[in-house]
């Protein structure tokens, strides 16, 4: 049956665990070309810039034996030149899988609804699930487990924060989000995460409360792609949530520091912290490759 990966919650707990285990296994086979996607083309649609997502998908598709096709909005103009329904049906006749990075999450839901091939969310304004799958792999590699870890996300309540909340409905951990009332994560996603009762969820305006004894300190840019007009206003709001040595002092001494990148050094995180001994940001960047390969393997298996 065709399945999609638009949110971490599209996979159940055992599927998420299996996918992360598979990613760890695929990492050991880095550089080998497998035949999971042999003879298949994966369309990679990008309406926003990307380094990690684009390169890791293209390399991952190659390493799974498939062919990737990079498509910008100049070509298809999703929902403008023709309907999302028609775009989905045409893609389904020509490619085996679709990865898409765009603004509107709803457009991705519509694309997946009408497509007969799996659709993967490569980031929308609402969420960034591939990032969090790779990040959970990174946490397991560094801390030995993800279950019951104290994970502090500091800064803007954006797509990455929303995906952390979705992950917290699937796996059990202690998620603290330190942000302002003006920059809260999506309220419906927050409600669902709290209601799920899987993880402990704390949302606080106190950055020190968020990081207390934390095993993982996580941050992201304050103004996401498409919001750069809010660059200064978000910085004014979020300065107290900067990840710096002073804030780190309240965390577990063996904590790891994470950032999905790209970083705005000197704003949400200082140079000494992102380049310091706690930082695992480049492991995170590499694990995008392995996690996404694992996601594509699962989606390809379920098609049969
Ligand atoms: N973290 C991440 O998704 O990076 P890119 O925007 O470069 O793809
Ligand atoms: N929140 C960031 C993540 C970039 C990978 C953005 O959407 O721009």
- 259: β partners: 219
Distance 258 CA to ligand 2 centre (A): 14
Sign of CA dihedral 295, 300, 302, 303: positive
Distance 110 CA to ligand 1 centre (A): 23
Kindly state the helix (H) or strand (E) to which residue 24 belongs, with its residue range. Answer: helix 13-28
Distance 304 CA to ligand 2 centre (A): 34
Assess whether the C-beta atom of 55 lies below 6 angstroms from ligand 1: no
Pocket test for ligand 2, best of 102, 157, 224 (most atoms within 8 A of CB): 224
Assess whether the C-beta atom of 52 lies below 6 angstroms from ligand 1: yes
Provide the pLDDT for residue 28.
96
Assess whether the C-beta atom of 259 lies below 6 angstroms from ligand 1: no
Residue 100 pLDDT more than 90? Answer: yes
pLDDT per residue as tens digits for the range 27-41: 999 889 999 999 999
- State the closest ligand 1 atom to the C-alpha of 53, by its place in the atom list counted from 1: 8
Residue 75 pLDDT more than 90? Answer: no
CATH number for the region 131-284 comes to 3.40.50.1370
- State the closest ligand 1 atom to the C-alpha of 54, by its place in the atom list counted from 1: 8
- 101: β partners: 46
Pocket test for ligand 1, best of 288, 289, 292 (most atoms within 8 A of CB): 288
Provide the pLDDT for residue 207.
98
| Residue from 138, 90, 283, 215 nearest 98 by CA | 90
> Residue whose CA is closest, atom 2 of ligand 1?
52
- % helix, strand, coil for the chain, step of 5: 50, 15, 35
Kindly state the helix (H) or strand (E) to which residue 200 belongs, with its residue range. Answer: strand 200-204
pLDDT per residue as tens digits for the range 252-303: 999 999 999 999 999 999 999 999 999 999 999 999 999 999 999 999 999 9
Torsion angle of the four alpha carbons 89, 91, 93, 97, in this order, in degrees rounded to the nearest 10:
-120
Residue 242 pLDDT more than 90? Answer: yes
| Residue from 173, 159, 252 nearest 212 by CA | 252
CATH architecture of 8-128+288-303: 3-Layer(aba) Sandwich (3.40)
Using alpha carbons only, what angle is made at residue 156 by residues 151 and 160, rounded to the nearest 5 degrees? 60
| Nearest ligand to the C-alpha atom of residue 259 | 1
| Nearest ligand to the C-alpha atom of residue 285 | 1
Alpha carbon of residue 181 to chain centroid: 23
| Nearest ligand to the C-alpha atom of residue 56 | 1
With 0-12 / 13-18 / 19 or more C-beta atoms within 10 angstroms meaning exposed / middle / buried, residue 36 is: middle
> Residue whose CA is closest, atom 6 of ligand 1?
50
Domain ranges for the chain, please list them: 8-128+288-303, 131-284
Is residue 201 within 8 Å of 175, Cβ to Cβ? yes
Distance 119 CA to ligand 2 centre (A): 20
Report, as residue numbers or ranges, the catalytic residues.
101, 128, 131, 220, 260, 288
Residue 3 pLDDT more than 90? Answer: yes
Residue 216 pLDDT more than 90? Answer: yes
Assess whether the C-beta atom of 224 lies below 6 angstroms from ligand 2: yes
Is the peptide bond prior to 261 cis by the omega test (within 30 degrees of 0)? no
Assess whether the C-beta atom of 158 lies below 6 angstroms from ligand 2: yes
Provide the pLDDT for residue 304.
81
Pocket test for ligand 1, best of 220, 259, 261 (most atoms within 8 A of CB): 261
């Amino acid at each position: 049956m065709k399945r999609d990966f638009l949110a971490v919650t599209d996979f159940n707990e055992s599927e998420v665990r299996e996918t992360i285990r598979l990613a760890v296994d695929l990492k050991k086979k880095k550089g080998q070309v497998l035949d999971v996607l042999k003879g298949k083309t994966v369309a990679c649609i990008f309406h926003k810039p990307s380094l990690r997502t684009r390169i890791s998908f293209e390399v991952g598709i190659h390493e799974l034996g498939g062919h990737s096709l990079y498509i910008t909005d100049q070509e298809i103009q999703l929902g403008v030149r023709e309907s999302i329904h028609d775009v989905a049906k045409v893609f389904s006749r020509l490619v085996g899988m679709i990865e898409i990075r765009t603004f509107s999450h709803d457009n991705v839901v519509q694309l997946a609804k009408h497509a007969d091939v799996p659709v993967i969310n490569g980031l929308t304004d609402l969420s960034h699930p591939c990032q969090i799958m790779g990040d959970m792999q990174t946490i397991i590699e560094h801390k030995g487990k993800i279950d019951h870890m104290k994970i502090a996300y500091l800064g803007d309540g954006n797509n990455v924060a929303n995906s952390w909340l979705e992950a917290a409905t699937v796996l059990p951990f202690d998620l603290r989000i330190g942000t302002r009332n003006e920059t809260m994560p999506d309220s419906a996603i927050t409600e669902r995460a709290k209601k799920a009762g899987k993880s402990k969820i704390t949302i606080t305006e106190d950055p020190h409360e968020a990081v207390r004894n934390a095993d993982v300190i996580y941050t992201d840019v304050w103004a996401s792609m498409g919001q750069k007009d809010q660059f200064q206003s978000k910085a004014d709001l979020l300065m107290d949530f900067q990840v710096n040595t002073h804030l780190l002092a309240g965390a577990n001494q063996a904590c790891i520091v994470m950032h999905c990148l790209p970083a705005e050094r000197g704003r949400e995180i200082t140079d000494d912290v992102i380049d310091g001994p706690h930082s695992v940001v480049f492991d995170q960047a590499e694990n995008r490759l392995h996690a996404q390969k694992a996601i594509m393997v699962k989606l390809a298996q379920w098609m049969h």
